[in-house]
Amino acid sequence: MSHIMTIESFDGQVVKDIIEASRRGRNAMTIITKQTIQFALYSGLVLIVIGLLSACNPKQAPATPPPRTVKVIQIKAAHDGQHQYASGRIQAAEQANLSFEISGKIRTLELALGERVKKGQRLARLDAQALELNVEVEKSNLKTAQIERNDASRQYQRLAALFAQKLTSASAVDEAEARLERATAQLSRHQASLAKAQRQLAKASLYAPFSGLITKQLVEQSEVVMAGQPIAAMANPQSQIEVKTWVPSRIHDHLSMGDTATVSLSLIEQSVRANVTQIGMEANQLGLFPVIAQLIEPPASFHPGMSVSLQWDLPSLHSRPVVPLTAIELLDKNHARVFVVEHPDANKTRLKARIIKVGALRETEVEVLSGLAVDEWVVAKGVNLLREHQEVYTAGAHLARYNH
């Protein structure tokens, strides 16, 4: 007979003992108390056994996901070669944007698009009633000052002659001399004021700085314009033809005055040589520098305003490492993060994050100014899904070495 009893069988035995005790007249509470004590002891024993079994079989930690497989590439230098290209626009060497030096409302506009004008010809005039009135006022003031100065001069000469004959006092002569000095100073001030008023009035008229053609008309008559606001542009078609372009620093830093470029007009498949005549030293917002090259014997088909391409034959350029745009996580406009693989030949390795300084953008790459060297290996893409010291499998390194 087994001595092991389950909880269910134990509860059934208690009920049977209570019924039997009732038939025999025994105290049922005595039976319940004894059985309860036995049940408590049995339950405690069960809990102890469960605890020991749990201690012998601890929970296993969740399985670590397998390392990710990443594609890696080797950093190479950008070999630009000798040919450097840029786009530009043909323009006349003698050209100008026309604007007033003062603000005002245009009274007359004496120009038209394509009109041929001569040097010194008036092209536009502002409403100058206030300026004209100011000139008249200054002329009147000057006339009054001139009369006062002449009268003071005559008085001084008369008193000086009387003083020589001892017919007047020295104080009278001194007073006349002081009056003459004041009148002379006043006359000089009014002369300067009149000259200033006349210069301002002259600024209300706009004249052609050279003979040429009106190439742009930017305003209409009766418009209000600000000082320095272009109202038209003109060029001298008889002057030399040149090309203006904007180049990045990798070209700008290696250009010199007199360097030769080949200028091509793609629409008619013509090209001509040009010599660099101006190299700007201040970059625009895109980091490009202005360069002007004068065309050598331009054909008749080259006209101002046409777009052209330029090619320079530079002897040598300093090449920098480049990295694909997919391999960087841009932090700001000058810095990015890459993941370097120090042992690309190993089956499994850990990543190392590195901050690099980036330079000029290319089509699908960016120049590396510092932080990364040629021949180092980096993760090619998916860098936003990676973390520092992450364990990965590498793909691409063995294939790259095989192709070499």
> Are residues 167 and 194 both part of a single domain?
yes
Residue where a domain terminates, one of 153, 175, 203: 203
The pLDDT value given to residue 281 = 93
Sheet holding 104-109, edge to edge: 205-207, 122-126, 104-109, 224-225
| Residue at 378 is within a domain | yes
Which carries the bigger pLDDT value, residue 267 or residue 22?
267
Tokens of 198: 């006349």
**Which of 8-17, 334-343, 374-383 has the weakest average pLDDT?**
8-17
Split at pLDDT 50, 70, 90, the class of 110 is very high
329 found inside a domain: yes
Same domain, 44 and 75: no
Domain CATH code at residue 174: 1.10.287
> Sorting pLDDT into bands at 50, 70 and 90, what band is 397?
low
Q: Which of 41-55, 69-83, 146-160, 239-253 has the highest mean pLDDT?
A: 146-160
Supply the pLDDT for residue 53.
55
Phi, then psi, of 252 in degrees rounded to 5: -55, -40
Dump the DSSP string for 205-266.
Answer: EEE-SSSEEEEEE---TT-EE-TT-EEEEEE-TTS-EEEEEEE-HHHHTT--TT-EEEEEET
Task: Bin 258: left if φ > 0, else alpha if -120 < ψ < 50, else beta.
Answer: left
164 and 199 share a domain? Answer: yes
Domain hosting 174: range is: 128-203
324, 383: one domain: yes
Last residue of some domain: 188, 203, 218? Answer: 203
pLDDT for residue 79? 57
Residue 363 belongs to a domain: yes
What pLDDT is recorded for position 400? 44
State what percent of residues in the chain have pLDDT above 90. 49
| Greater pLDDT, 218 or 397 | 218
Give 313's pLDDT tier (boundaries 50, 70, 90): confident
Indicate if 75 and 30 belong to the same structural domain.
no
pLDDT band for 302, please (50, 70, 90 cuts).
confident
27 found inside a domain: yes
| Residue of 78 and 294 predicted with greater confidence | 294
Is 309 inside a domain boundary? Answer: no
The C-alpha atoms of residue 308 and residue 300 are separated, in whole angstroms, by 15
The reply to whether 323 and 399 lie within a common domain is yes
Q: What is the mean pLDDT of the chain?
A: 83
Check whether residue 20 and residue 75 sit in a common domain.
Answer: no
Is pLDDT at 355 greater than 50 in this prediction? yes
Q: Which of 174, 203, 232 is the last residue of a domain?
A: 203
Note the pLDDT of residue 52.
Answer: 57
Q: How many domains does one find in the chain? A: 3
Residue 348 reports pLDDT greater than 90: no
Residue 304 lies in a domain: no
Alpha-carbon distance values, 202 to 67, 113, 142, 246, 353 (Å)? 81, 24, 19, 37, 67
**CATH code at position 391:** 2.40.420.20
Tell me the mean pLDDT in the region 294-301.
Answer: 88
297 falls within a domain: no
Report residue 303's pLDDT band, with 50, 70 and 90 as the boundaries: confident
The tokens for 77 are: 């230098």
- Residues with Cβ within 8 Å of residue 36, at least 6 apart in sequence: none
Is the same domain home to 339 and 397? yes
Q: Which residue has the higher pLDDT, 5 or 360?
A: 360
pLDDT-derived band at 192 (thresholds 50, 70, 90) equals very high
Task: Give long-range contacts, CB 8 A cutoff, 24+ apart: 149-154.
Answer: 149/180, 149/183, 149/184, 149/186, 149/187, 151/183, 152/176, 152/179, 152/180, 152/182, 152/183, 152/184, 153/180, 153/183
Q: Reply yes or no on whether the pLDDT at 402 is more than 60.
A: no
How many whole angstroms separate alpha carbon 342 and alpha carbon 320? 21
pLDDT > 70 fraction of the chain, expressed in percent and rounded = 77
pTM: 0.51
Q: Do 75 and 135 have their domain in common?
A: no
Least confident window among 1-15, 119-133, 162-176, 191-205: 1-15
Instruction: Say yes or no: 49 and 75 in one domain.
Output: no
Q: Quick check: is 35 in a domain?
A: yes
Tens digits of per-residue pLDDT, 24-72?
A: 554 544 544 555 555 555 555 555 655 555 555 555 555 667 788 888 8
